[in-house]
Amino acid sequence: MCMEKVQANIRINELRSLLEEASMRYYVANAPVLSDYEFDMLLKELEALEKEYPEYVTPDSPTQKVGSDLAKSGTQPGKEFQQYPHRYPMLSLGNTYDIPDVEAFAERAAKGIGNAFTFSCELKFDGTAICLTYKDGKLFRALTRGDGTVGDDVTENVRHISNIPQRLSVPFGFFATKEKPYPWPDEFEIRGEIYMPWAAFDRLNEERTRDEEQPFANPRNAASGSLKLIDSKAVANRGLECTLYHMLGDDLPFATHDEALNAAESWGLPVSDMRKICRSIEDIDGFIGYWDIERKNLPFATDGIVIKVNELPYQEELGYTAKFPRWAVAYKFKAEQALTKLLSIDYQVGRTGAVTPVANLEPVQLSGTVVKRASLHNEEQMRIHDIHIGDYVYVEKGGEIIPKITGVELSKRSSDVILPHFPETCPDCGTALIKDDEEAKAFCPNVNGCPTQIKGRLVHFLSRKAMNVIAGDATIDQLFNKALVWNVADFYELTKEHLLTLEGWKERSAERFLKSLQDSKKVSFDHVLYALGIRYVGEATAKSIARHFGNIDAIAAASVEELLKVEDVGLVIAESVHEFFSDGSNMEIIGRLKAAGLKFEIEDAPAKLSNVLDGKTIVISGNFSISRDEMKSLIVAHGGRNSGSISGKTAFLLAGDKPGPEKLKKAESLGVKVIDENTFNEIIGI
C-alpha cells in the first residue's frame, strides 16, 4: 500500500473518531464540543476522502448514518425511555454555508424533475427534532429522531408543552359529512422541532448559574435536555415550544408541502408563518439575506434556512440518499461574531468557593441581545487566548451559544494593554486559593469565613428550588451585615424585633418574611437536603440520596462506599457528601434545623416489607402492570436497590412489556439474568 493511501486511511479513522465523539456529545450528552460549522467542515473532509478512497467507506461511517440521540446504556443513568421504530425513516438534512451550493442543489433538482416547480423556504429552528403521531385527531405518540430508524418515546413529556395540542381542532367553516366527519386523516405523522425561546433559556441558565450547576451551552441543548427529563411535569416549567414543518401519511390529500402545512395550521398545530414560496434562486437568495439580518431580532434561536421542493410528487420522484432527502437542503448561517473591547476582569466567588473570571466588555449587540459580560471560565482559558485588559476580543454565540470570548484581534492590540494575573488569594476574604489537579477552577477553602461564600449559601438555602422563602440578595445582605444571620440555622431564630431594625422594613414585611420561613418547614426532605448546599449535589442528586437513605442520620452515617450505591452518585459526589457530614460545624447546624422543625426524613418512604432483595442491585426496563415509580418503591421495600444502568454487579434485569433493546443486549453481554414481572412477584411473595 502506498504511503498516500496509508495516510488517508489514518486520517479517515481519525475523523470518524472525532465526529462520533462530537455526535455523542451533541445528541446524547447535550454538551457540544464542536460548533456546527466545525463539525460540518470535518464531515466534508471525511466525505471528500471517502470519495477519493471508496474502498475505505463503511456502513457505520458518520457520512452514511444519522446522528443518534438514543440514550445508550450507562450514558444517562435513570434516563430510560421506551423506544419505538419510526414508520418512515427520520433523516438529517444536507448542510451548506455557501449560496453556490444552494444553486447546485436547485440545478440538481431541476435536472431530476424536468418540469416547472417551486421551492418552499422556511426558517431552520435550532431545537431538537420531534415526530408526532395523531390518530383520530388525538396525540398518540411523540418520538425523538433517535438513530433515524428508532426513537425514544417522550409522549408524556411532550404533553406538557403548551402549544402542542392533545386534540386537533376543526377549522371554522368545515362542514362534516358522513363520508368526511373531520378534515384530517385517520392517522398521520407531523415532524418538527422542540425549541427553547431565548427568555426561557436565559431564565433557566440564570437558575443553574445561581445554583452553581453547569449552564446549558445553547437553547438546542437546553431543549433536548429538558425533553428527556424524568419528571414529565417538570417539562412544563422549562418554557419549551414547538414548530412543525413536515407531514407524512398514507394518501395525504395535498399536492404541495405548503398546502399540507396550511391544513395542519387550520387544525391547531403550531406551524411557522416565516416561510415563503420561491420560484428562482434569486428569490431564495433574497429570503436568506433577509433572515440572516432579521434573525437577530427573533425571540428564539435559528441557525439557517431550509429549502425544499414544494410539490410532493416531485419530492417522491427525487427520493433519498442513505442519510439525506434529495429534495431539501439546509443553508446554515455562520456564527454571529462581534468585536469589542475588554474593559476589565472581575473574579467572582461562588457559594462553593469556586473563583470564576468574568470579562467586562464595551456593550455590543449579539444574537438579539446586548452583551456586556462574558465568562472566561478559568485561568487556563485566559492563558490559551492570551487575554490582555484593553484588548479587542471576539465574542460569539457559536451555534447560538451563550456569550464566550473566542479570540483576540492582535492587530488592534495597543502598547498599554495589561496582562491580567489570576489572583492567588480569594478576592473577598484574602485566603490563599487552592487548585485541585483534576479541576481547572481555583477554590477558596475558607468555607466558613469567606463572606461571599456564606452569603451565597444563605441565598441558595432560601431559593425557590430549595426552601422557597420569599427573600432576595438584598435581604441577605441586610441580615448578614447586621450580624443577624451567619448560617442557615440562624434564619429560624429571627424575630419580628430583629427584622424591624433593618432599613426599610415595616411590620407587614417582617410578618410576611417570618410566615414564609414558617411555611418552609413543610418543605420535603429532598429539598431540605438540596438546600444545605453540599458541593456537587444538585436537585436530582439530592432526591436520589434522600430516597435511598430515607433520613438525614442514615446519610450522615454512610461511608463513601455506601454512598456510591446511590443511583447517579459517583466518587466525586460521594466524597463531597461524606466530607460535608464529617464536619462538626455542619452537624451542629443540622441539629439546630432539626430543632426548628424542618423535615429530615422521607415521609412517604415505603415500609420495609422483607429482606428478600437485600444487597441486590436491580435494573428495570419496559412497562409493567403498575407504574415504574411504584415498581421501584416495591424493590426498595423488599431491601433492593434501583439502578439505571446494567453492570457486572446487577443482580437481574426486571423486564416488562417492550423493554429497551439496549438494556437487553447489555444484560446478555454481561451474563445478567433477565426476569419478567410474574417471576419478580414470586420472588417477593405476592
Q: For the chain, how big is the Rg over CA atoms in Å?
A: 28
Q: What is the pLDDT of residue 297?
A: 82
CA dist., res. 635 & res. 536, Å (int)? 27
Distance of CA 172 to the CA centre of its chain: 39
Compute how many other C-beta atoms are within 10 angstroms of the C-beta atom of residue 113. Answer: 17
CA angle, 606 as apex, 600 and 609 as ends, to 5°?
A: 130
SS3 405: strand
In CATH terms, 3-56 corresponds, of 1.10.10.60, 1.20.1050.10, 3.40.50.150, 1.10.287.610, to 1.10.287.610
Q: What is the pLDDT of residue 646?
A: 80
User: CA dist 524 to 410, 520, 554, 641, Å?
Assistant: 55, 9, 17, 22
- Do domains 451-522 and 525-596 share one topology? The answer is yes
What single-letter amino acid sits at 388?
A: H
**pLDDT at position 76:** 38
- Pairing state of beta strands 337-349 and 392-396? antiparallel
Going by C-beta distance under 8 Å and a sequence separation of 6 or more, which residues neighbour residue 326? 108, 109, 112, 318, 319, 320
Q: Among candidates 76, 202, 208, 157, which has minimal Cα distance to 538?
A: 208
pLDDT at position 67, please? 54
Note the helical H segments in 319-472: 379-384, 451-462
Residue type at 566 in one-letter notation: V
H or E element at residue 475: helix 473-481
Cα angle, residue 266 at apex, residues 261 and 272 outer, rounded to 5°:
45
Across the chain, which has 686 residues, the per-10-residue mean pLDDT values are: 69 76 57 62 80 76 61 42 88 86 93 94 93 95 89 91 91 79 92 91 79 71 82 81 94 93 94 94 94 87 93 93 87 84 93 89 80 84 89 75 80 94 94 79 90 93 90 90 95 95 92 94 94 87 86 93 82 91 95 96 74 87 80 83 76 86 82 92 87
Q: How far apart are CA 347 and CA 428, in angstroms?
A: 9
Beta-strand (E) ranges in 409-517? 434-435, 442-443
> Which residues are known catalytic residues?
124
Widest pairwise Cα distance in the chain: 88
Q: State how far the alpha carbon of 312 is from the alpha carbons of 194, 277, 327, 630, in Å.
A: 24, 14, 10, 47
CA distance 686 to 674: 19
Domain ranges of the chain: 3-56, 92-332, 337-428, 451-522, 525-596, 617-684
Report how far residue 285's alpha carbon sits from residue 280's, in angstroms, rounded to the nearest whole number.
Answer: 9
Three cell numbers at 182? 373531520
Q: How far apart are the first and last CA of the chain?
A: 67
- CA distance linking residue 270 with residue 275, whole number of Å: 13
Q: Domain 92-332 in CATH: superfamily? A: DNA ligase/mRNA capping enzyme (3.30.470.30)
CATH 2.40.50.140 is right for the domain spanning 337-428:
yes
Q: Does this model's pTM top 0.75?
A: no
Q: Which residues contact 531 (CB under 8 A, 6 or more apart)?
A: 460, 461, 463, 466, 467, 488, 523
Q: Strands 95-96, 328-332: parallel, antiparallel or unpaired by DSSP?
A: parallel
- Residue 122 is predicted with a pLDDT of 96
Give the whole-angstrom CA distance, residue 205 versus residue 217: 9
CATH tag, 525-596: 1.10.150.20
Report how far residue 195's alpha carbon sits from residue 225's, in angstroms, rounded to the nearest whole number.
11
- pLDDT at residue number 73: 35
Which residues neighbour 507 within 8 Å (Cβ) at sequence distance 6 or greater? 496, 500
Residue bearing cell 449535589: 537
Tell the CATH superfamily of the 451-522 domain.
5' to 3' exonuclease, C-terminal subdomain (1.10.150.20)
Under 8 Å between Cβ of 307 and 328: yes
CATH class of the structural domain 617-684: alpha beta
Q: What is the pLDDT at residue 644? A: 67
